[in-house]
Chains A and B, each alone.
Chain A
Amino acid sequence: MDKQELEKQFEAHMREHELLLFKVCRIYTFTDVDRQDLFQDIVIQTWKAFPKFRGESKFSTWLYRVAINTAITGLRRKKDFITYYEPLSLPAHISDDNAAKTDEEQLKQLYEAIRRLNEVEKAIVMLYMEDRSYEEMEAILGLSQGNLRVKMNRIKEKLRQLTKEINYGT
């Protein structure tokens, strides 16, 4: 395959999966500038690895690998990595009345809670929310399905606690 053809294919794949990259960047960064940097890093890494893609797995599975690997191993380059984010601007709600909240508000809370998870947990919860099967998650992360199920249960519990904390503004 010549370079032009390769570039064409690559661009088409990236356009098709732009949303996937956007989600990874949103989960792993806190500012727009970092988000753009990470997006660029992932695109460059994907381009470097693209000639090796043989189609043995779905493109999205392969792309998740590149994106997560780049996100979790590359974020320390400029400054010390922010492991915990204190959302000072979050309103300190008095009650834990989730029923009264719209889905969008709950989603915002979920994002805030996810940002307090560690890097591996973030990847697992993102894939879970994307409805990826445990088999596919295993192919991306390299963890056994049994281990992933155990971790997912723990993460669910952790997220429940974290959203409660966010609700109470702690």
Chain B
Amino acid sequence: MELDDLKNTWKKNQDYTSTNINIMELIQNKHYGPVAALKKAFKKQMRLMIILPLLIFATSINDIGKVLTSVLFWSYIAFCLAVIMFSFYNYRIVGRMEGMDGMVKSNLELQVNLLQKRLQWNIIGLRFALLFFVILIEVVPYFQHYRMLDKWHALHPLVRLGAYAALFTLQYFVSRKLSQRKFGNHLMHLEELVKQMQA
């Protein structure tokens, strides 16, 4: 079979009948591709991080003075703000991936580049978040007394250090697994496409 001999048949025969699809109705539908799904996830994360501190605030309304002077509460607010900023950064990165009208090769390279960068920052961000909470747990008792931390601080420092090390090791594997599940497969697919382009 010679490809060139089939060109005319290809152009004529496409089992094609005009679809009569309402194009304008189609564009009203929400897009649900992988990029749109990622954007949705980051939006959800931002909303959640706004709602959670408000929820804590609302449930402690009777003892508001205690909440407002709590180091843990304000640390939690700082953490939520950092997550919101990080999610917004991710949201913007993913937004840049939505442009589909560039040349295929450069579009693929851009998407791979942005996702790799996001993956790196994701891992760094998670590590910082964990470090922040570890420091917090160790430092807070010097400023305020929390009954829930008493038992923890009664343990030998080496035991606590071991637990933190275990936590960091666990985070290393869990965050990798989670990232892989969230968008790692998509990244691998895009990298494979770039390879196909370069082959």
Contact = CB atoms under 8 A, between A and B. Distances in A.
A128 B3 contact: yes
B173 interface: no
Interface string B1-36: 101001101110110101101011011010111110
B102 interface: yes
Q: How large is the interface on A (under 10, 10 to 19, 20 to 34, 35 or more residues)?
A: 35 or more
A161 to B, nearest CB: 11
A69 interface: yes
B99 to A, nearest CB: 7
A41 B186 contact: no
B111 interface: yes
A53 B37 CA distance: 25
Interface of B: 1, 3, 6-7, 9-11, 13-14, 16, 18-19, 21, 23-24, 26-27, 29, 31-35, 37, 98-108, 111, 185-186, 189-190, 193, 196-197
12 contacts: A15-B23, A41-B33, A44-B31, A65-B102, A65-B103, A73-B111, A73-B189, A73-B190, A103-B6, A107-B9, A125-B3, A140-B103
Interface of A: 7, 10-11, 14-15, 18-19, 22-23, 26, 39-41, 43-45, 47-49, 52-53, 62, 65-66, 68-70, 72-74, 76-77, 81, 98, 103-104, 106-107, 109-110, 118-121, 123, 125, 128-131, 139-143, 156, 159-160, 163
